[in-house]
Structure 1
Amino acid sequence: MMQSAQQEEVGGQFHLLGTRRFAPFFVTQFLGAFNDNLFKNALVVLLTFHATGWSTLSPGLLANLAAGIFMLPFFLFSATAGQLADKYDKALLARAVKLLEMLIMLVAALGFWLHSLVVLMGALFLLGMHSTLFGPVKYAILPQHLREDELIGGNAWIEAGTFVAILAGTLIGALLAGTVDAPVWIAVGGLLVAGAGYLASRQIPAAPAPVPNLAVNLNPLSETMRNLRLARNDRVIFIALIAISWFWLYGALFLAQFPAYACSVLGGSESAVTLLLATFTIGIGVGSMLCERLSGRHLEPGLVPLGAIGLTVFGLDFAWVTHELAEISASTAASGQALGLLLQAPAVWRALFDLLMLGGFGGLFIVPLYALMQLRSLVEQRARIVAANNILNAAFMVFGALSAAAALSAGLSLAGLFAIAALANAVLAGVIHRLQPEYGAAMVRWLRRRAG
Structure 2
Amino acid sequence: MSNPTVTHSTDAAPAAHGPAPAHSQFRLLVQRRFGPFFATQLAGAFNDSFLKQLVILLVTFHATDYTTLSAGLVANMAAGLFILPFVLFSAYAGQLADRFDKAKVIRAVKMAEVAIMVVASAGFFMKSLPVLLASIFAMGCHSAFFGPVKYSLLPRVLAKEELTGGNGLLEMGTFLSILLGTLVAGVLAAMTTNPLWLSLALLGFAVLGLASSLFIPATGEAAPDLKLHFSVVSETIATVKMGQREGEGVWNSLLAISWFWFIGAVVLSQIPALGKDLLQGDTTVVTVLLATFSVGIAVGSLLCERLSGHKVEIGLVPIGSIGLSVFTADLALSADRFAVLLASSATAAPLDWTHFLAMSGSLRVLGDIALLGVFGGLFIVPLYAFVQLRTAPQRQSRIISANNILNALFMVVAAGMSAGLLAAGLSVTGLILVCAALNAVVALYIYKTVPEFLWRFLSWFVVHAIYRLRSTGTAHIPEDGPAILAPNHVSYVDALVLSALCPRPIRFVMDASIFRVPVLSWLFRQVNAIPIASAKREPETLEKAMAAVDAALRNGELVCVFPEGALTRDGQVAEFKPGIRRMLDATPVPVIPIGLSGLWETAFARNGKSLGARLTSLRPGRRLEVNVGAPQSAEVDIEVLRSKVLDLVQPRGPQPASRPTQARS
Which residue of 332, 336, 341 maps to 1:328?
341
Query: Contact 2:272–2:286 (CA<8 Å) still a contact in 1?
Result: yes
Query: Would you say 1:49 and 2:61 are equivalent positions?
Result: yes
Q: Deviations for 1:277-314, whole angstroms, at most 9, x for unmatched residues?
A: 11111111111111111111111111000110011111
Which residue of 184, 191, 194 maps to 1:182?
194
Query: Would you say 1:110 and 2:115 are equivalent positions?
Result: no
1:281 maps to a residue whose letter is S
Query: Would you say 1:211 and 2:223 are equivalent positions?
Result: yes
Alignment partners' CA distance in 1, 2:249 and 2:120: 42
Alignment partners' CA distance in 2, 1:22 and 1:298: 18
SS at match of 2:358: coil
Query: Contact 2:22–2:310 (CA<8 Å) still a contact in 1?
Result: no
Query: Contact 2:338–2:360 (CA<8 Å) still a contact in 1?
Result: no
1:393 maps to a residue whose letter is N
Alignment partners' CA distance in 1, 2:286 and 2:195: 23
Task: Give the share of equivalent positions with the same residue, in percent.
Answer: 47
Query: Would you say 1:272 and 2:285 are equivalent positions?
Result: yes
The corresponding residue for 1:298 is 311
Alignment partners' CA distance in 2, 1:58 and 1:286: 37
Query: Would you say 1:439 and 2:492 are equivalent positions?
Result: no
Alignment partners' CA distance in 2, 1:326 and 1:85: 49
TM-score after normalising by structure 1: 0.96
Which residue of 397, 401, 414 maps to 1:400?
414
SS at match of 2:194: coil
Query: Would you say 1:142 and 2:168 are equivalent positions?
Result: no
Query: Would you say 1:60 and 2:83 are equivalent positions?
Result: no
The corresponding residue for 1:343 is 357
1:192 maps to a residue whose letter is G
Q: Say which is worse superposed, 176-185 or 380-389, in terms of deviation.
A: 176-185
Query: Contact 1:217–1:223 (CA<8 Å) still a contact in 2?
Result: yes
Query: Contact 2:87–2:405 (CA<8 Å) still a contact in 1?
Result: yes
Q: Say which is worse superposed, 192-201 or 54-63, in terms of deviation.
A: 54-63
The corresponding residue for 1:243 is 256
Q: Deviations for 1:383-416, whole angstroms, at most 9, x for unmatched residues?
A: 0000000011111111111211221122211111
Query: Would you say 1:193 and 2:217 are equivalent positions?
Result: no
Q: Deviations for 1:149-187, whole angstroms, at most 9, x for unmatched residues?
A: 000000000011110011001111122222223134222
Q: Say which is worse superposed, 285-294 or 342-351, in terms of deviation.
A: 342-351
SS at match of 1:369: helix
Query: Contact 1:73–1:132 (CA<8 Å) still a contact in 2?
Result: yes
The corresponding residue for 2:370 is 356
Quote the offset at 1:213 in angstroms: 2.2
1:335–1:175 CA distance, 2 compared to 1 (3 A): same
Query: Contact 1:136–1:383 (CA<8 Å) still a contact in 2?
Result: yes
Query: Would you say 1:85 and 2:97 are equivalent positions?
Result: yes
The corresponding residue for 2:642 is none
Q: Deviations for 1:187-218, whole angstroms, at most 9, x for unmatched residues?
A: 22111101011110001010111112211111
Quote the offset at 1:71 in angstroms: 1.0
Which residue of 132, 142, 145 maps to 1:120?
132
Alignment partners' CA distance in 2, 1:169 and 1:28: 14
Q: Deviations for 1:422-441, whole angstroms, at most 9, x for unmatched residues?
A: 11000000000110111111
Query: Contact 1:160–1:284 (CA<8 Å) still a contact in 2?
Result: yes
1:10–1:378 CA distance, 2 compared to 1 (3 A): closer
Alignment partners' CA distance in 2, 1:367 and 1:267: 34
Aligned residue pairs: how many?
Answer: 448
Q: Deviations for 1:136-160, whole angstroms, at most 9, x for unmatched residues?
A: 0100000000000000000000011
Quote the offset at 1:11 in angstroms: 3.6
The corresponding residue for 1:425 is 439
Which residue of 27, 30, 36 maps to 2:48?
36
**Higher percent of residues as helix:** 1
The 4+ residue runs of structure 1 with deviation greater than 3 A are 8-11, 328-334
Alignment partners' CA distance in 2, 1:83 and 1:401: 29
SS at match of 1:27: helix
Alignment partners' CA distance in 1, 2:195 and 2:417: 34
Alignment partners' CA distance in 2, 1:387 and 1:94: 15
Alignment partners' CA distance in 1, 2:230 and 2:24: 42
Query: Would you say 1:409 and 2:417 are equivalent positions?
Result: no
Query: Contact 1:322–1:414 (CA<8 Å) still a contact in 2?
Result: no
Q: Say which is worse superposed, 327-336 or 277-286, in terms of deviation.
A: 327-336
Alignment partners' CA distance in 2, 1:122 and 1:350: 41
Q: Deviations for 1:331-379, whole angstroms, at most 9, x for unmatched residues?
A: 5584221222211223110011111111111111001100011111111
The corresponding residue for 1:257 is 270
Query: Contact 1:21–1:145 (CA<8 Å) still a contact in 2?
Result: yes
Alignment partners' CA distance in 2, 1:374 and 1:382: 7
Query: Would you say 1:313 and 2:307 are equivalent positions?
Result: no
Alignment partners' CA distance in 2, 1:21 and 1:429: 35
Query: Contact 1:268–1:339 (CA<8 Å) still a contact in 2?
Result: yes
Alignment partners' CA distance in 1, 2:440 and 2:282: 33
Q: Say which is worse superposed, 390-399 or 184-193, in terms of deviation.
A: 184-193
Which residue of 162, 168, 171 maps to 1:156?
168
Correspondence 1:386-397 to 2 at 5 A: 386-397=400-411
Query: Contact 2:261–2:411 (CA<8 Å) still a contact in 1?
Result: yes
1:97 maps to a residue whose letter is V
2:444 maps to a residue whose letter is G
Alignment partners' CA distance in 1, 2:64 and 2:413: 30
Q: Deviations for 1:226-265, whole angstroms, at most 9, x for unmatched residues?
A: 1111011111111000000111111222211111111111
Which residue of 59, 68, 88 maps to 1:76?
88
Instruction: Say which one has the larger Rg.
Output: 2
Which residue of 99, 102, 106 maps to 1:94?
106
Alignment partners' CA distance in 2, 1:420 and 1:172: 33
Quote the offset at 1:10 in angstroms: 6.0
2:24 maps to a residue whose letter is G
SS at match of 1:267: coil
Query: Contact 2:258–2:406 (CA<8 Å) still a contact in 1?
Result: yes
Query: Contact 2:167–2:381 (CA<8 Å) still a contact in 1?
Result: yes
Alignment partners' CA distance in 2, 1:382 and 1:104: 27
Query: Contact 1:105–1:191 (CA<8 Å) still a contact in 2?
Result: yes
Query: Contact 1:80–1:223 (CA<8 Å) still a contact in 2?
Result: yes
Alignment partners' CA distance in 1, 2:60 and 2:140: 20
Quote the offset at 1:56 in angstroms: 1.9
The corresponding residue for 2:392 is 378
Q: Deviations for 1:76-112, whole angstroms, at most 9, x for unmatched residues?
A: 1111100000011110111111110000010011111
